[in-house]
């Protein structure tokens, strides 16, 4: 198997993944997963598609992560890994879709409107 590329996005975060056969190493921006995401919850989010297919030790994954916060980055990476796994083996798509890993979450921050302090909040109204 040659390398497989995939992209995942969530909020403002973009994850570009290069997946090759290997022994389960995940490198994010030239740092190991455990260093980049110290939280075990975020590490679990990233590994969910691999654990679903029991292929956590089969692939080496190199990631370029950019933008957003740590939660958005972890979920963008989860989507990218799921898409890469489907490119490797299209039969896995239904299993990953059932877990919700193939769906791009479209929710993003609403833009700030002019004449208001935030997107929907209004300045205090004074009658007199």
SS3 77: helix
Both tokens of residue 77? 């990476």
Side-chain-facing half-sphere of 70: CA atoms under 13 Å: 10
Please tell me the predicted confidence (pLDDT) of residue 117.
96
Global pTM? 0.91
Structure confidence by residue, pLDDT tens digits, 27-53: 999 999 999 999 999 999 999 999 999
Structure confidence by residue, pLDDT tens digits, 57-96: 899 999 999 999 999 999 999 999 999 999 999 999 999 9
- The CA distance from 118 to 64, in Å, is 32
Side-chain-facing half-sphere of 13: CA atoms under 13 Å: 22
């Amino acid at each position: 198997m040659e390398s497989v590329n995939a992209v995942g996005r969530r909020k403002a975060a973009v994850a570009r993944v290069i997946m090759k056969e290997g022994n389960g190493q995940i490198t994010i921006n030239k740092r190991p997963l455990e260093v980049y995401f110290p939280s075990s919850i975020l590490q679990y989010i990233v590994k969910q598609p691999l654990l679903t297919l029991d292929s956590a030790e089969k692939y080496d994954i190199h990631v370029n992560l950019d933008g957003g916060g740590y939660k958005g980055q972890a979920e963008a990476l989860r989507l990218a890994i799921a898409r890469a796994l489907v490119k490797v083996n299209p039969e896995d798509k239904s299993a990953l879709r059932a877990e919700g890993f193939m769906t791009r979450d479209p929710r993003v921050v609403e833009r700030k409107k002019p004449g208001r302090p935030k997107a929907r909040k209004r300045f205090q109204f004074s009658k007199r």
